[in-house]
A = this chain, B = another copy of it.
Amino acid sequence: MPVYKAPVEDTLFVLKDVLGIEKFNNLPGFADATGDMVDAIVGEAAKLAEEVLFPVNLSGDQEGCTRHDDGSVTTPKGFKEAYQTYREGGWIGLSVPEEFGGQGLPYVLHTAVGEYMSSANMALTMYPGLTSGAIAAILVHGSDEQKSTYLPKMVEGTWTGTMNLTEPHCGTDLGMLRTKAAPQPDGSYKISGQKIFISAGEHDMSENIIHLVLARIEGAPEGTKGISLFIVPKFILNADGTPGTRNGVSCGAIEHKMGIHGNATCVLNYDEATGYLIGAENKGLAAMFVMMNEARLGVGLQGLAISETAYQNAANYARERIQGRALTGPKAPDKKADPIIVHADIRRALLQMRAINEAGRAFSLYSALQSDIAHRSADPAERQKADDILSIMTPVLKGVMTDRGFENAVAAQQVYGGHGYIEEHGMSQYVRDARIAMIYEGANGVQAMDLVGRKLAANGGRAVMAVFKEIGDFCEENRADERLAPFTKALKKGLNDLQAATMWFMQNAMAKPDNAGAGATDYMHLFGLVIQGYMWGRTVKAVHALQDAGDSRTEFLANKLVTARFFMERLMPETALRKARIETGCDTVMALDAAAF
């Protein structure tokens, strides 16, 4: 049976020692996040994840969701109760403004605890996760009335939320969507059409479900310029704000999926359902992108989350499973064989997971902190810079951490040998669950294209320059630090590759855009390596400072340095390969006729 223990020590180290969140106490909400408060919140989240969410994870996968003939959906045994505990803990509103029932704490804290929830039970955590996305969209684009009507109930989790984008014939290309919205005399709309792949679309855990739905108002322009966003509650509210009449939206089927069986992925049929416009007419995509960007950070975090729990289980198994002897002679001579963790190849696999997870944790929290600064700073220049950096981090975190998270889950499963292939050990679930994170909220190829096609060039490259400057400055400022030199040197080499690849796009992709497409995925991963290398650089610097100050976490800090060294030795050099691939351009890639594939 799998186990899970939230990495509290590492989270607190990243928040306090690497990112230094106490330095941001001029931002609203941060002053409340004192050291003790952070300890308490992270500790409570760990308990919830370990003791409430995790125990129903494997059983939830095996049972899955059930749709009944009346279109209602039952979640797996124990999900409803676990969700109630989650909800009652106030976790959904952790970083939501207090006026809507939230606690107004930093988003970076919401992200820190979110990792634990997804590690413990990704399928279950998606229900409140989608609610958070819907809350974010209503907060930014909703009217005051909409905010006061929907947010408090969503924040307390008695109502949940969904995102309705995809239709059978359109996913990435939302310009083709057909769901219709017919204006009604009372200012509402009648929504009709079919949406697919709607996570948490129907279930038995909340009193109401607030669907955010993209649709086209009759007579609206074709393409993405004619899309509007609507609030469509499962139960239309009574005058007193309580759920009333059942609305014309129903679950036609739930999908038979590879994983996340505990989350109901629904086909939702809208049949003249009552909907309310949110934001401006035909500006639905912009409103949806608020949810989408938040969701992308959340999905990147899922990549880390599954990778972390898969790693923990692989490490345990490698310590317990005895098989064969160490190449250097028996390490457990009293036993029939040595634990397989004596083997360098097993350790290599474990360290690779670990190096990516620890960098990924710093990367996620660093990105969340940029979101806090972008939303809460009083200084417009600081806000803009943080928003620029976040615009780059979003596709990189989503694409890289989900690709790597899946790879790590596969590598963790491999440590189990044949036992990893058997469902009862839980490693198969991690692989199957992690797989979706590479696909939804924009498949990773779409993230790569967003990065090279949109984010790089935006505002004359302002955002990417800000990132390069921050990392370059870090290397420069620490040039004289001899202990740090092996790390900054490797990082600088990676940064040089990244800058050269960027320059190559500037020079070769304007006239020939397929040169960007052919290198997009390699570029996203090259970027990911450099960001992770930067996180390791900052980590090592923090470790040295703590060691110099005689910090008592002796072993924890020493292990950090080993893992950092592993990253720089084994993973960072991949930047040269990625750059070389990018520079081969698109000619070969575009040479075949479509029919020849």
Query: Measuring CB to CB, which residues of chain A are less than 8 angstroms from any residue of chain B?
Result: 166, 170-173, 175-176, 196-197, 255-259, 315, 318-319, 322-324, 327-328, 336-337, 339, 341-351, 354, 406, 410, 413-414, 417-418, 420-424, 428, 431-432, 435-436, 438-440, 443-445, 448-449, 453, 513-518, 520-521, 555, 559, 562, 565-566, 569-570, 573-574, 576-577, 580-581, 584, 586, 588-592, 594-597
Contacts and interface: CB of A to CB of B under 8 A. Distances in A.
Contacts of A443: 414, 417
B594 A341 contact: yes
A588 B344 CA distance: 10
Contact of A197 (B324, B418, B516): B418
Nearest to A581: B570
Nearest to A328: B513
A20 B432 CA distance: 43
Contacts of A513: 327-328
Contacts of A417: 171-172, 439, 443
Contacts of A569: 581, 584, 588
A287 B245 CA distance: 73
Given A197-B418, A323-B170, A421-B257, A345 B439 contact: no
A591 B410 CA distance: 24
B562 A514 contact: no
Contacts of A422: 255-258
A-B pairs with the 3 shortest C-beta distances?
A: A344-B517, A327-B513, A315-B597
A171 B344 CA distance: 19
B323 A592 contact: no
A577 B573 contact: yes
Contacts of A428: 257-258
Contact of A445 (B349, B438, B521, B588): B349
A351 B517 contact: no
A573 B577 CA distance: 7
A581 B592 CA distance: 34
A453 B326 CA distance: 12
Nearest to A423: B256
A597 B350 contact: yes
A481 B254 CA distance: 60
A422 to B, nearest CB: 5
A520 B453 CA distance: 39
B327 A418 contact: no
B339 A453 contact: no
B418 A348 contact: no
Contacts of A348: 517-518, 521, 589
Contacts of A171: 323, 417-418
A213 to B, nearest CB: 17
B345 A518 contact: yes
A351 B517 CA distance: 14
Contact of A591 (B432, B444, B562, B597): B562
Given A175-B337, A562-B588, A562-B592, 5 more contacts: A348-B517, A414-B439, A414-B444, A417-B443, A577-B577
Contacts of A354: 597
Nearest to A597: B315
B319 A594 contact: yes
B566 A589 contact: yes
Contacts of A438: 414
A432 B565 CA distance: 34
A581 B345 CA distance: 12
Given A173-B323, A597-B341, A423 B257 contact: yes
Contacts of A580: 573
B257 A590 contact: no
Contacts of A406: 410
Contacts of A342: 594
A342 to B, nearest CB: 8
Given A431-B258, A566-B589, A577-B576, A596 B559 contact: yes
B594 A339 contact: yes
Contact of A345 (B440, B517, B584): B517
Contacts of A559: 592, 596
16 contacts: A172-B323, A172-B324, A173-B337, A196-B418, A258-B422, A258-B432, A328-B513, A339-B594, A346-B445, A347-B589, A348-B518, A417-B439, A420-B439, A421-B435, A421-B436, A562-B591
Contacts of A257: 421-423, 428
A419 B256 CA distance: 11
B566 A588 contact: yes
A546 to B, nearest CB: 17
Contacts of A555: 596
A559 B176 CA distance: 34
A395 to B, nearest CB: 13
Contacts of A592: 347, 351, 559, 562
A11 to B, nearest CB: 18
A508 to B, nearest CB: 12
